[in-house]
Amino acid sequence: MRVAIVGAGLAGLATAVDLADAGHEVEIFEARPFVGGKVGSWVDKDGNHIEMGLHVFFYNYANLFALMQKVGALDNLLAKQHTHTFINRGGDVRQLDFRFPLGAPFNGLKAFFTTPQLSWQDKLQNSLALATSPVVRGLVDYQGAMKQIRALDKFSFADWFRRHGGSNGSLKRMWNPIAYALGFIDTEQISARCMLTIFQMFATKTEASRLNLLAGSPAEYLHKPIVDYLTARGVKIHTRRQTRQILFTGEGDHIQVTGLVVANGDSEETITADAYLAACDVPGIQRLLPTAWRSLPEFDNIYQLDAVPVATVQLRFDGWVTELNDAEARRQLERAAGLDNLLYTPDADFSCFADLALASPKDYYRPGEGSLMQLVLTPGDPFIKQSNEAIAQHVLKQVQDLFPSSRELNMTWYSVVKLAKSLYREAPGMDPYRPAQKTPIANFFLAGSYTQQDYIDSMEGATLSGKQAAAAILATVG
């Protein structure tokens, strides 16, 4: 079987791995000059590694980890301490500390009851909300609880949480930074399904809440091993080859795809195959689908989905931002197991960030230099139209507010990557509009983190969608 794949993000790559393993002929066409989609990275003319965004890997990314193991990339992950660290204004470091001799859910309970990030009142109200959530059922019946969680998609997390006794204090100081990190929107806008899915994973799997970062850039430490694995199995991967049109015959339930019109330099080429997979992002699939297909609800629903803006900033310093001068702040930091981890903050326009020179040292640490802060601006809306210089200066000021002693350092370099449309907006009520990987067209399939899969829009979700797409292609066409 010959399969043509549009898009070389993780979803497209994961599908290609399963199809190549099953002995099929696969060709991938990617519009950008690099593979990896939203996890992509590249090197600028001065040797700086620029990333589409800061990427952390939860320990329960079972499908992605299996893929990484297969291609020999699993050892490229650096496991961080089992803590979630919050940096408040003025160098005040607090944490959710999951380190505990007992496993889930006890390590989670310990983390929530001992965190200084919340007042006792907030903690009690938090426990009330979580005790009445499907997460409790999930301890004995995971699938049953997931069904209940999916049914809560129509509510925002904040509405659901307050109705179950949760407090605004917890939303502000803890759940908003986490919601921003997960979906780039706050708890008033994110669906209860999205947050509760993650809580359920944390409550049932001891290590799920533990984070990993790559040893260096995604291009080198994630995508290169996947691309090497694929090319060794005859898969052809083309970059700068945007698919411009899907050719088809028939109408309604009798549509058959006959080819793809793909850009090739200044001209175009028609590609034919036995099966076609669109592994695009939301804006990509909305542009690509033929207008006539909107008569089918499965395709028309896709136009209900929206994507959120985000901006990622890198700031390089001539010293360590995290070398706090204040003795109490340093003590807090030591208790929080250092800053070699993903960090959250409720007190800046970036919700999560990391010092890549510490956390992903292979491509980011430079002897004689200091921190390379990578910060994710959420919501990204106000920043999309601002100049990179203005954004970098704004973020620098906020880094200095979080780490006052960094005012003595100089920012030596910056980069800004803006994505006007990134993750699909996990807003309440959107879940029913997400398409399945198998479509009403027998030889046309969909993959991508926005398609139906029981994870949030994430690397694991993209990989899972790719595996589900490969299974559908093998079952239907193969």
Chain residues binding ligand FAD by CB under 6 A are 6-12, 29-32, 37-39, 52-56, 242-243, 279-281, 284, 288, 310, 312, 376, 419, 422-423, 448-449, 457-462
- Tell me the closest approach of the beta carbon of residue 36 to ligand FAD, in angstroms: 7
Of the pair 242, 468, the CB lying nearest ligand FAD is at: 242
Dmax of the chain from CA atoms?
A: 72
C-alpha span between 238 and 14 (Å, rounded): 16
- Tell me the closest approach of the beta carbon of residue 160 to ligand FAD, in angstroms: 23
- Tell me the closest approach of the beta carbon of residue 309 to ligand FAD, in angstroms: 10
C-alpha span between 186 and 175 (Å, rounded): 8
The full length of the chain comes to: 478
Q: Give the CB-side neighbour count of residue 374, counting CA atoms within 13 A.
A: 27
The partner residues of 417 in beta bridges, in order of sequence, read 312
C-alpha span between 457 and 448 (Å, rounded): 9
- Tell me the closest approach of the beta carbon of residue 337 to ligand FAD, in angstroms: 19
Burial of 369 (0-12, 13-18, 19+ CB in 10 A): middle
The partner residues of 237 in beta bridges, in order of sequence, read 28
Of the pair 254, 294, the CB lying nearest ligand FAD is at: 294
Of the pair 38, 49, the CB lying nearest ligand FAD is at: 38
Q: In the block, which residue shows the tokens 């880094």?
A: 399
Of the pair 186, 281, the CB lying nearest ligand FAD is at: 281
Of the pair 179, 419, the CB lying nearest ligand FAD is at: 419
Of the pair 130, 222, the CB lying nearest ligand FAD is at: 222
The partner residues of 86 in beta bridges, in order of sequence, read 94, 344
C-alpha span between 378 and 384 (Å, rounded): 11
- Tell me the closest approach of the beta carbon of residue 101 to ligand FAD, in angstroms: 28
What is the Cα 329 distance to its own chain's centre?
30
- Tell me the closest approach of the beta carbon of residue 47 to ligand FAD, in angstroms: 22
